[in-house]
Amino acid sequence: MTDVVREARPAQAATRWWRDAVIYQVYVRSFADGNGDGVGDLLGVRSRLGYLAELGVDAVWLTPFYTSPMADFGYDVADYRDVDPIFGTLDDARALIEDAHRHGLKVITDVVPNHTSDRHAWFTAAVAAGPGSPERERYIFRPGRGAGGELPPNDWESVFGGPAWTRLPDGEWYLHLFAPEQPDLNWENPEVHAEFEAILRFWLDLGVDGFRIDVAHGMVKAPGLPDIGVAGQVEMLGTAVLPYFDQDGVHEIHRAWRRVLDAYDGERIGVAEAWAPSQERLAKYVRPDELHQAFNFHFLKTPWDAAMLRGVIDESLATVAPVGAPPTWVLSNHDVKRHVTRYGDGEPGLRRARAAALMMLALPGSTYIYQGEELGLPEVLDLPEEVCQDPQRLRNPEDGRDGCRVPIPWAHSEPPFGFSPPGIEDTWLPVPATWGPLSVEAQLGDPGSTLSLYRAALRLRREHPALGDGVITWHDSPEGTLVFDRGEGFVCTVNASGEPVELPRPGRLLVASAPVGEGPGVVRLAPDSAAWWTREDA
C-alpha cells in the first residue's frame, strides 16, 4: 500500500470545504492497533493515514480518545484535554493531526458536552462537597420524592434503560440520561459554558478542523424537569425517544460555539449529532449562525426501497434549502447495525449496500463513510456473550452495538488479520475467522471488490465537476428504480428492485456496482445495482 500525500480537491475552494466533503469515521478502538495491546489507538490511525488518503476521502472523524474509565467506551470523559493511555498521549494526538494535514486530510474530533464521566474532577468534587454546594451546581442534582426522598425526582428514563436518576448516600439524586457513570451537566451554569468554549479552543489551537458534537440536542433540559408519562414519548425521525431532548435553549449554545469556530482560519466546522421530532426541527441546528452540518439519520434508517429513498432524499433537500446548509448522507455508524446486514445480509445485503454507496456518493452535499463499509463488512451477529461490552445492551440485547465495532481486517492472513502487530492474537473484540477475503489486502488486488468500487467512485466524485455540492434533477423511470442527473454531464441510475431493468442508454458508463448489459440504445441494470454515466460520447 503506497503512502499517499494528496492535494485538496482541485475545484475545492480554500473555504467551505465541508459542503461536499467525504468524511471517514474512525472508531479508534477498532481501526488499527499500533502498540500491540489488542485495542486500536492513535498510533494505529497514524499508520493508516496513507490508506485513507488513497481511498479518496477528504476528512477523518475520530471518536473520543480522551481520558476515560471507558464505561461507554470514551463517551464518558474524565479529562477533555488529555488522551487516555489506552489510545496514546497528547503528543500522539498532535502528531496525528499534523500527519493528517500532510496527507491532505482534515481532522474532526468528538466533543461530549451533555455529560462527563463520574470520574471527572468536577463530579468527584460535587459528590464530596454535598447538597447545596457550588460544585453541585455544575450538574443536575435534586432531592427525591416520597416521604423520605426515596423516589427519583421525576419519571425520566435513561437511554440505556432504567431510571435516569441515581441516588447518592447523602440522599440527593443526580441526572444521567445515559449510563449512571455519565452524569449530565447543568448548562444553566455559566461555568459549564466557559469550560466547553475553552475545551474547543484547546483542540482548535492544536489544529483540529472541527467537532462532531455528541448529543447536540440534549444539553438543555425541559424547564422544571416535569414528568412526561408514557404518552409524552414521541417519534423522532422514526425512533422512539423522550421529549426532554431538542429544547430550544440548545441553539444558543451552538451559536456561541459557531462564534468560537469562526474566529479560526480555515473554516473549522461543527457537526450535530441531533435527534429531532421532524426534519424542520433538525434544520434549526444548521442555520447560518449555528452548526455547519447535522447527521441525516432519517436517510440512514430508510429501507432499500426506491420510492422511500426518493421521498427521504427530496425531504432532506427541501428541509436544508431554506437555511442554506448542505445535506448530509450516511448509511452506517458506530451506533447502528451495519447496512450490509440491515439490507438483508449475505450476498443480497452486500449487493444492495454497494448500490446504495454509489447512490449516496452521487447525491449533493456531504457524505459520511463508517470504517469498514468500504470493505462491505457485515454486522457480526454471533459474538460470544462474554465479550459483549456495550452498556446499551442492558436495555435490550438486540440493541447492542458491539457487532458494528469489531476490528478492521487489514491483511489476508490469520485473525486478527493485521489489526494488531504480528504475534498478537487477542483483540478487544474478536475478528471473525472468515474475514480474510474481506481484508484490505485481499480487496486491493481484486478490481471487482467493494474496496475497489469505493476507490473508483471517490476518485470520480473528486474529478467530475457535476458531483459534490449542487442540485439534483429526477427523471421518470420504471417502478423500483431511480434516475437522476447532477447537471447535464452526469447521470446516476439505481435499480432497487429484485429484477433486471432495461433503460435507455444514459451515456458512457463510468462505474457500476454490478455488471451492466448493453444493447442498441439500451442498458440492462442488474437487480439491486447502481451505475454512474457521463453524457459525453452518449
Contacts of 436 (CB under 8 A, 6+ apart): 409, 412, 413, 414, 417, 442
Dist CA 54 CA 442 (whole Å): 16
Is 276 in contact with 237 (CB distance < 8 Å)? yes
H/E element holding 125? helix 121-129
Dist CA 483 CA 476 (whole Å): 7
Task: Supply the Cα-derived Rg of the chain in whole angstroms.
Answer: 24
Dist CA 242 CA 408 (whole Å): 34
Cα angle vertex 343, ends 161, 299, to 5°? 70
Dist CA 121 CA 80 (whole Å): 11
H/E element holding 313? helix 306-320
Which of 135, 273, 379, 390 is labelled catalytic?
A: 273
Is 214 tagged catalytic? yes
- DSSP class of 204: H
Dist CA 198 CA 190 (whole Å): 12
Is 517 in contact with 486 (CB distance < 8 Å)? no
Which of 58, 172, 214, 246 is labelled catalytic?
A: 214
Which ranges constitute the DSSP H helices of 393-518?
A: 440-444, 450-463
Cell 431510571 sits on residue: 163
Is 499 tagged catalytic? no
Active site amino acids: 214, 273
